[in-house]
Amino acid sequence: MTKRIALAPILIVLCAAAGFGQDAAQGGFSRTLTVSGAAELDVSTGSGEIIIRQGASDRVEVTGRIRVHTNGRSLAEAQALLRRLEENPPVEQTGAMIRIGNIADRELQRNVSISYEIQTPAQTTVRSRTGSGDQIISGVGPVEANTGSGDLDLNSIRGAVRVQTGSGDIRVMSMDGTFHGRTGSGSVAVASSAVSDAEISTGSGDVRITGVKGSLRARTGSGGITADGEPGGAWDLQTGSGDVSVRLPQTARFDLNVHTGSGRLDVNHPLTLRGSIDRRRISGQVRGGGPLLAMRTGSGDIRID
């Protein structure tokens, strides 16, 4: 009994040294591409993170982190696939167009995860896709980003933003164009001072947006909606269950149509009512009228400051 106990640690060390229990081969690559002026960047990965940041104005720097899993293959086979990806990474350039992650070989796609970290000029149009993984994008634009499952974090985006995730949160800290955001399950938060028009949809989660200068359309199946800005177009806000809170300038002119199935209505602007008084519905004009602000909640309060 004593001998067996003494040998156990030695066997564990030998197994680890021989690579037993190792479930993946890991490695990576780096590439630098020269560009002149504005660039176009198309990035995709089946599984992994994508990080894109503003870098130097004359080059695109790409770093890839590769993980080849042993599911259905030996460690030696995984290491051989890893070497193929390291020696010939999926990075292509045609003039100003750079495509990253385009892998035709199915064996190099199966149980392989590649995460990308990219530095690119500020004047870069970005299209990015991941099947599963978060994305962080800053200092570039316009941006179109999609993930099947993961969060999307954007900051200091130049131009329009169009983002979608099947399951995850969307956060935008600064931008200066139109915004379209959709998530099947998650919250959407946009904090900016210059959103021209916005359209937001979430199946389940809160919506928060600031700095809207144009039209706004927001939908959530279950969650609250908070918005502030200067309506330059119609606002249409709807939630199945949750509160709606809106903050507008004290000089704002707009038409109003709000309804709650169960909750309070508070309008802190001078309102000229239209039709009969109803504690669940208000219709009228503020300061002579303007763009229509329509708000509806199945169960929750509506407040307009």
Give dist(CA 189, CA 181) in Å, integer: 10
Question: Tokens 């994305």 — which residue?
Answer: 135
Residue 205 CA to its chain's centroid (Å)? 14
Q: Which of 130, 123, 119 is nearest to 96 (CA)?
A: 123
First vs last Cα of the chain: how many Å apart? 78
Residue with tokens 């990035």: 43
User: What is the C-alpha separation between 41 and 124, in angstroms, rounded?
Assistant: 7
Nearest Cα to Cα of residue 136 among 268, 125, 128, 64: 128
Residue 1 has pLDDT above 70, yes or no: no
Nearest to 28 by CA among 80, 66, 78, 73: 66
β-bridge mates for residue 73, sequence order: none
Q: What is the pLDDT of residue 37?
A: 87
In this model, does residue 5 exceed pLDDT 80?
Answer: no
| The predicted structure's pLDDT at residue 21 | 53
259-291 per-position pLDDT tens digit: 999 999 999 999 998 876 688 999 999 999 999
What's the confidence (pLDDT) of residue 192?
Answer: 85
Average pLDDT value for residue range 228-239:
96
Which two structure tokens, joined as six digits, stand for 241? 């269950």
pLDDT > 50? residue 25: yes
Question: DSSP per residue over the chain, as a string?
Answer: -HHHHHHHHHHHHHHHHTTTT--EEEEEEEEEEE--SSEEEEEEEEES-EEEEE--TTEEEEEEEEEEE-TTS-HHHHHHHHHHHHHS-SEEEETTEEEE-----GGGTTTEEEEEEEEE-SSEEEEEEEEE--EEEES--SEEEEESSS-EEEESB-S-EEEEESSS-EEE--BSS-EEEEESSS-EEEEEEEE--EEEEESSS-EEEEEE-S-EEEEESSS-EEEEE--SS-EEEEESSS-EEEE--TT--EEEEEEESSS-EEE-S-EEE-SS-BTTEEEEEETT--SEEEEEESSS-EEE-
| Separation of alpha carbons 88 and 95, rounded Å | 19
Q: What is the pLDDT of residues 148-195, one digit of tens each?
A: 999 999 999 999 999 999 999 999 999 999 999 999 999 999 998 789
**201 or 192: which leads in pLDDT:** 201
Which pLDDT belongs to residue 72? 84
Is the pTM here over 0.85, yes or no? yes
31-45, 132-146, 184-198: segment of lowest average pLDDT: 184-198
| Six token digits for residue 35 | 């560009």
Average pLDDT, the chain: 91
Question: Residue 276 has what pLDDT?
Answer: 66
Percent of the chain topping pLDDT 90: 82
Relative to beta strand 112-120, strand 24-34 is: unpaired
Average pLDDT over residues 74-101: 95
Closest listed residue to residue 115, CA positions, set 55, 68, 73, 171: 68
**Which pLDDT does position 11 carry in this prediction?**
33
Per the listing, tokens 């602007």 go with 269
What is the token pair recorded at 221? 């199946």
